[in-house]
Amino acid sequence: MKNIIKWLEENADLKIIDEPLDVELEIPHIAYIEVKQDNSRPLLFTNPINKAKNIEYDMPVLMNVFASKETTQKIFDKAPDDIASQIEKLLKMKPPKDFMGKIDMMGQLFSLKNVFPKRLNFKGESQDVIIPKDEVDLDKLPIIKTWSEDGGAFITMGQVYTTSLDGTMQNLGMYRLQQYDKTHLGMHWQIHKDASSFFDQYKEANVKMPVSIAIGGDPLYIWCGQAPLPYGIFELLLYGLIRGKNAQLVKSITNNIYIPRDVDIVIEGFVDVNKMEIEGPFGDHTGYYTLKEPYPVMEVETITMKKKPSFVATVVGKPPLEDKYMGWATERIFKPLLQTTTPELIDYYMPENGVFHNLILAKMKTRYKGHAKQFMHAFWGIGQMSFVKHAIFVNEDAPSLEDDISITKYILNRLTPKNILISEGIVDALDHSSPETLVGGKLGIDATSTPIEDGIKEPLDDKELLNKAQKLDTQIIGLKQYMIDTKNPICVISVDKTTSQQKVIKNLHSLQNHIKVLVVVDSSSNFIDNAYMLVWRVVNNIDASRDITLTPFIAVDATNKNKLDNYDREWPKDTLCDKSTLDRLQEKGLIDIDEEFINRFGLL
């Protein structure tokens, strides 16, 4: 994989676009549309430009490297489940009982020699070109701006290499990096991340923190950057385990951080621990803008690169996107590590329209009463799983977790208020729904029981139920019922919100014979017949401790919150495409979308 572009041409049907296109909106909009297609492909833009800055770049932009499950599996060169089995075997390794057992163990232990990164004492291909500090100019890199209201251009697939203050630990993370000017980048490492922990060490010592940012190279480096390993474990150990060979590292030119020899570009510099700048807004993987906040700033000392580098980038926003396939691999590979804490776990699934940390489905072997609730607490206490807001557990007899229709029916046929646990804990820094940052409500559903007997007492069709509801509250605009053949049909109503929706829900209590589960959304930003995006909206927009009530029916307020709800934070906007950019790309024949596609994925 030394020549990733050639590899993608031969293995992933790389699509090459030669037309000059702007790194602001045009290129990322094409990538955003492409990865939502059923047969999405990696994209290479050979002539990127920046119209606003009047720049023609001399390197191509590569996007959607992880374009599909098939491409992702080829990048790993093996099925993620096979890698998981390898990890499971290592975790369960026991002293051998006989000579052949010793031989087998020796083979396993010998293979581990490839896990540890190897430090080389010479320069790498990534250092063929060295740009000194007085010539550093980030404008020479085709850094993209995806969304109209982004605070600027962002490096979106940077491999951020940092070390602890004492040099004993090294970390690889994938954080967005905002370009402020020709020599400064904003470091968006959130408070829960290892790089932020390292930053605290440097700040306490009041010394500058070295950082090296790599772009490109083997795509497995990129995946390793988002792998949820425990604190202090260097992510490139996974590279060695998966590739079966050591990651080869070379020393940065201006600091002591080691980076892969074969990446395309390296940006080296130091973070002044006493300097913070406003970073953002940024259209993030939640499908919402992350708001402006102060973050550390990196001053660039040098940029090194291959003789003919490529600039790798990704687009984040509303699902499905490239992170769907990266997350799928992570989910599969890390299952054995989860099972060390929850051994009765059979499988789990994090749907991409739950944006991963907002929703998890888990299948388990239930052994005793309350077992599922024990699992909920265990999940909420494990590393990055602690950020999961909504966890649903099913028994071993449940259908495939990825069979959306069947698993939803299974859950709804077992749903009761007494099997719902509402708790509180830490939430992702990107979560916007909780009353305060970093802490919010958690929802757990125990659907491991046998099916319940009671369903709706008096079912009504959508038209009749809407008529009754609108007589009770004039804010109600539309209504659609889902899963009406289950014990707990879901009634979705859209509203033109003028009061707290808790008042609307109370006004509908008299319809308890006709409703079992009620979900309320804003009419202005939702199509109530689009189930995929409704799931995305609901799990993004609710804080369980505030927005869920359990009597006389289960009700969920998934509207945007404001002062009517005693919500004092700023509610972020959706990431929406720029219509004029889409129209222009459509006229040029660079995208082919219709109104149905636009509505299905909430593009506008």
Which are the catalytic amino acids? 284
How is 36-56 classified by DSSP, letter by letter?
TSTT---EEESSEEETTTTEE
Residue with tokens 């020479």: 140
In sequence order, the 6+-apart residues with CB closer than 8 A to the CB of 99 are: none
Q: Which two structure tokens, joined as six digits, stand for 182?
A: 């020709």
Q: Which two structure tokens, joined as six digits, stand for 320?
A: 């499905």
- Phi/psi region, residue 400 (left: phi>0; alpha: psi -120 to 50; beta: rest), is beta
User: What is the amino acid identity at position 535?
Assistant: V
C-alpha–C-alpha distance, residues 225 and 156, integer Å: 12
- Give, in degrees to the nearest 5, the angle at Cα 477 between 487 and 415: 15
Short-list 338, 111, 329, CA closest to 224: 329
Phi, psi of 516 (to 5 degrees): -110, -40
Count of beta carbons in the 10 Å neighbourhood of residue 592: 10
Q: Are 574 and 525 in contact (CB under 8 A)?
A: yes
In sequence order, the 6+-apart residues with CB closer than 8 A to the CB of 428 are: 190, 192, 357, 387
How is 317-379 classified by DSSP, letter by letter?
SSSSSTHHHHHHHHHHHTHHHHHHH-TTEEEEE--GGGTTTT-EEEEE---STTHHHHHHHHH
Strands (E), 216-344: 248-251, 258-260, 265-279, 282-283, 289-290, 293-305, 311-313
C-alpha–C-alpha distance, residues 451 and 447, integer Å: 9
C-alpha–C-alpha distance, residues 157 and 177, integer Å: 9
Q: Which two structure tokens, joined as six digits, stand for 588?
A: 């040029």
Phi, psi of 240 (to 5 degrees): -65, -40
How is 107-136 classified by DSSP, letter by letter?
HHHHHGGGTS-EE-SS--GGGSEEE-GGG-
Q: Are 248 and 214 in contact (CB under 8 A)?
A: no
Label residue 6 exposed, middle or buried (CB < 10 Å: 0-12, 13-18, 19+): exposed
Q: Are 358 and 327 in contact (CB under 8 A)?
A: no
First CA to last CA distance, the chain: 38
Residue with tokens 């889902």: 482
Q: Are 316 and 285 in contact (CB under 8 A)?
A: yes
